[in-house]
Amino acid sequence: MLPGNGKFLFLFSDFCTIGGFALKSCAIVGINWGDEGKGRMVDLLTEDYDIVIRFQGGGNAGHTVINDQGKFALHLLPSGVFRPSVVNILGNGVALDPESLVNELEDVKNKGVKITPDNLKISDRASLLMPWHKKLDELEKIRLADKKYGSTKQGIAPFYSDKYQKKTILAGELLHPDRLLSHISDLLEWKNLIITGVYGAEPYTMEMMEEWLGRYCETIKPYICDTGRYLKDAVKQGRSILFEAQLGSLRDLDYGIYPYTTSSNTTAAYAPIGSGCPALRPDSVIGVVKAYSTCVGEGPFVCEMFGPDAEKLREAGHEYGAKTGRPRRVGPLDIVATRYGVEVQAATEIALTKLDVLSYMDSIPVCTGYRLDGEITVDFPFPSELDSAEPVIEYFDGWNCDISGIRRWEDLPEAARRYVEYIEKQISCPVTYVSVGPERESIIIRK
């Protein structure tokens, strides 16, 4: 074994026993297409954690959090910002858009939430999402005309492409102004070739970039630090860590419904890499599953419902995008996709959200398989096969009463318990949380 590895393992095992603390880290991830209610679960569970980290994605989706401080739509900020004792980190894996972060900070601070460099830290290794990334999304949308490709126009795909081409600015470079301008100037020269040459649009100038730096980047500078070192020390001290994902398994770049995925890895396995503590493995992975399915934007969605039934479910669940306001596509719970999502995330337990939304249904549809080429399959198919897959639907008894005030498992109507037990059996993972309302306390804990 290499000496360096040995040393680190020693430190790591030291941490396991410091002050009798158990090693404690947990990832909260989406099992399906996103919007499963991860934000409400992070908001609830941050009480037990010292540090909350966003490790991938950018401001292209949103978490809605409702607590005693109000209702918030978070896009980039970790959902731990509402707990004064929690340190929130934007890891190296996120797409750090200074403009949207500054706007979000202002919005949240205006509602009375205290955010300082003590409780928000930005990794110096996070790449900056530049103004031209959003512009490129816009130009590509125009080029594609009515061929939709599902972008939220937040510059996420151009951003990650540039990151992999090693053509981004790291947040830490803002702290070294002497070299910053020449690096931006080099990137600008290259990017303008594409913006003007390929798309025939106006070029960016250094004056524009200096204006952008002054307007947005100055505000975020105090939050930037070596979060990798901070986390290493935190781990040694036995502090507990919660990894907060954006979107869900089926939007993962490598394992999702490519090309209708996002451009980053939404899976728990990526959490340590994108967070700045690559040696850490989450002890537990809480997969968040909604009691029915929703999907925003383009791409195959086998269990999709249409017509008045879909409209009723969309209204009951208030299924409109937190960032875009777009009506979400809706459908019954999809066991095939959910089982696959659980496997991809290696989820150790499940938080089932929005069970209360189904209370109006006399009988509850569930997609239990896909019909593909005349055969029924329960395995999630290769992405391009999804277009020809048809859902196999079975129906379960509804419970027809309001369950939003229930806090104990045994008080749930039998039909609701049967529904939950059926799901956990099908996906081979225990449902340890059942959420029956958006408020922090509207939860049934089954542990």
Stretch that binds ligand GDP, among 60-68, 83-91, 189-197, 297-305 (CB under 6 A): 60-68
The CB-of-248 to ligand GDP minimum distance in angstroms stands at 8
39 in contact with ligand GDP (CB under 6 A): yes
Residue number with CB closer to ligand GDP (66 or 102): 66
Interface residue with ligand GDP among 171, 357, 367, 403 (CB under 6 A) is: 357
Residue number with CB closer to ligand GDP (184 or 245): 245
Residue number with CB closer to ligand GDP (275 or 359): 359
Active-site residue, selected from the candidate residues 43, 50, 63, 334: 63
Residue number with CB closer to ligand GDP (348 or 435): 435
94 in contact with ligand GDP (CB under 6 A): no
H/E element, 433: strand 431-435
36 in contact with ligand GDP (CB under 6 A): yes
97 in contact with ligand GDP (CB under 6 A): no
104 in contact with ligand GDP (CB under 6 A): no
CB count within 10 Å of CB 24 equals 16
Contacts of 325 (CB under 8 A, 6+ apart): none
437 in contact with ligand GDP (CB under 6 A): yes
Residue number with CB closer to ligand GDP (35 or 124): 35
- Return the bridge partners of 27, or none: 243, 285
59 in contact with ligand GDP (CB under 6 A): no
Give the alpha-carbon dihedral of 155, 156, 158, 164, to 10 degrees. 150
Q: Around 44, how many Cα atoms within 13 Å sit in the side-chain half-sphere?
A: 22
Instruction: State the Cα–Cα distance between residues 397 and 362, nearest whole angstrom.
Output: 7
339 in contact with ligand GDP (CB under 6 A): no
Q: DSSP secondary structure string, 80-145?
A: GGGSTT-EEEE-TTBEE-HHHHHHHHHHHHHTT----TTTEEEETTPEEPPHHHHHHHHHHHHHHT
Catalytic residue status for 63: yes
**Residue 214 has which token pair?**
């002054």
332 φ, ψ to 5°? -70, 165
Interface residue with ligand GDP among 29, 35, 82, 160 (CB under 6 A) is: 35
Contacts of 146 (CB under 8 A, 6+ apart): none
Catalytic residue status for 75: no
Report whether 402 contacts 357 (CB < 8 A).
Answer: no
Catalytic residues: 35, 63
Residue numbers at the binding site for ligand GDP (CB under 6 A): 30, 34-40, 61-64, 66, 322, 353-354, 356-357, 435-438
